[in-house]
Structure 1
């Protein structure tokens, strides 16, 4: 079969890497892809949000299955347009994608269906938000309602920081129209984790757990990023907790889809805070998380395209999904200055010196004059597996020492705190 993957980051590289190992997949295209994806797929000069051109390519080249990686085309309704033309595409439709496209829509869904989450209020008037901000206590969580590339969540520690954040989002339009409406939430304390799940109209099946690290610096310090690294399984996802999450979150979410008439087929990412009161939902995303995907798909044994086709046929309950027992770690290498301003075009060296069991998922790279160079804030996801997370992390950090590009930054505590002693 011929598959088109939409997107050009580490998540899409992991999807392409997995599909490339599957017998029935004969040809993979990726739009726009990157230098790493080009090793396993034919990259196309089409932006991931150019729905008309993507659809025309899929029809002209008789693509059997299109897989949507990033959230923007999903929120824009790419699935609806492909399906209207009779093209098979994997991902939730425009209506369902509001779960990620609008924080307010998502919170209203949770409250309506008794899904545990933080107390909140939404605002479109900055003066009203400022006048009530103290009522949430500090620290406080402020979210841009719309899409903000994973950076639209700020946690001010005091009133001054909160007011500055409100001005940045609502008045200065730091995140564009995404800040026209904002959501203010109580700050939850606990351990953050996430669940990726396969979903069709009748079934929701959680994947193996993964732990993400959003902050740019060690020990969860500094501003939020799109993700600095992950490991799977998450250390806190015991069988007891998994059962509680299934009852209070997963089952209620699926029931909510049915009650609201949401025809959900695809991937659902659920960000969770494990509090003293139990698991509470921080957010929904309507696609594979990045870099959680790198760790989770590294462990997936079942053919990914078979799972996706089962979901599209609403036969997810007929598929047995298997994972490797080995545990996986992915550490992100980022450009200097990320998540704020950074420079592209830095030559990357050392990848040909890595151990054979290290897989490098490219997030932001391209080729210039036969040189592999940086082309984004998050550049590479160095990934492997081992008997346990700690051993996998040790292997990764030893190999990271062989890689170099100007300004290269990474956390040294992904997987084990003692990793700081290895670098």
Structure 2
């Protein structure tokens, strides 16, 4: 099979790495790619926002399957346009991608179909949102409705902080994504990431992980796109997975079909495991980043077979098998992130990383034969082990082999699981 992978981040490098291992693969192409992805795939010059150009390339290269990594092209309808050109694609339609593209859409879906989630209000003007916040009190959560690259969420511990977050949204801090806001009840519990592969009717459980959103150790500082992750998430016991499927994923699949937007692709449920059971925080409609990196290093099965089955509506007879080992990834980010990252710093020592440690490129470029930083989150240093503690030690050994003075990372990725293992 000839496959085109859309995207340029660490998630896409992990997908390219796993797809390249498939015996079914003939040629793997990627657009726009990065220097790490270039080790696994042929990079093609392509404006992924020009769907006609993507379709033309697919015809030229005899592409059998397009795998869409990031959320923005999905929300823009790339899957619909490719399917209209009779090209197989793994990823949801524009209508189904509203589950990520509009937090308000998802909250309304939950209300309509009885899916457990936080109480909420939707607002298109700041005054109404402010009145709701004052009535509810703090702590409270403010979310830009649309896509904000993982940065449109404020967990406000005071009313003043919540009001400032609302003002930032309506003042244009997140562009069009903040034209509407969702204000939610603050949930207490432990967060987990739960993934399913979906084909429009069947949802196949596809692993669990726990992400670290805050930039600082001990989960302090501003939210980021994710500073590290590990898999599996201990809180997602078999019983909790069963409850999440029954109470959250399956009603979502039925609801989306009823709305005329059956969901096919990756359904990524961000969950809060509360004393009363799992509640949905939000949906994403693609693999998490950096959760994808730990899932791909644990997956036993051929990813291309599974994604092809999802694209063809054939998941009912499929299963996914996982290695018993834990996996952990540490994000190395450029100083200044999540604000203005320092770009251009030379990254050395990638050839000194210990065997068994995978370094997935997220925000890199190649300049004069050297790898340089070209983004906020730049590298994902990923390792496996018989325990999270062992995987953590191996991943940080990889981090310590890399020479990049302009970079930083959290040194406590996986701390909750390590505490469980040591306790």
Aligned CA RMSD, in angstroms, stands at 1.5
Q: Distance in 2 between matches of 1:40 and 1:292?
A: 20
Q: Distance in 2 between matches of 1:109 and 1:418?
A: 33
Q: What is the CA deviation profile of residues 208-249 of structure 1, one whole-angstrom value per residue up to 9, with x for unaligned ones?
A: 211111110111111111111111110211122222212211
Provide structure 1 residue ranges, at least 5 long, that are not aligned to the other structure.
Answer: none
Distance 1:47 1:157, change over 3 A: farther
For the Cα contact (< 8 Å) 1:394–1:419, is it kept in 2? no
The aligned residue for residue 212 of structure 2 is 213
Secondary structure class of the residue paired with 2:402: coil
What's the CA shift for 1:393?
0.3
What's the CA shift for 1:182?
0.5
Matched, 1:389 2:388: yes
Matched, 1:163 2:158: no
Secondary structure class of the residue paired with 1:255: helix
Q: Distance in 2 between matches of 1:269 and 1:188?
A: 19
Q: What does 1:9-408 correspond to in 2, within 5 Å?
A: 9-171=9-171, 173-408=172-407
Q: Distance in 2 between matches of 1:51 and 1:73?
A: 9
For the Cα contact (< 8 Å) 1:225–1:339, is it kept in 2? yes
For the Cα contact (< 8 Å) 1:103–1:145, is it kept in 2? yes
How many residues align? The count is: 419
What's the CA shift for 1:418?
10
Q: Distance in 1 between matches of 2:403 and 2:368?
A: 18
Q: What is the CA deviation profile of residues 293-339 of structure 1, one whole-angstrom value per residue up to 9, with x for unaligned ones?
A: 00011111111111111112211011232111111111100010101
Provide structure 2 residue ranges, at least 5 long, that are not aligned to the other structure.
Answer: none
What's the CA shift for 1:137?
2.1
Secondary structure class of the residue paired with 1:147: coil
What's the CA shift for 1:419?
8.5
Secondary structure class of the residue paired with 1:208: strand
For the Cα contact (< 8 Å) 1:147–1:178, is it kept in 2? yes
Q: Distance in 2 between matches of 1:135 and 1:275?
A: 24
Could you state the TM-score of these two structures normalised by the residue count of structure 2?
0.96
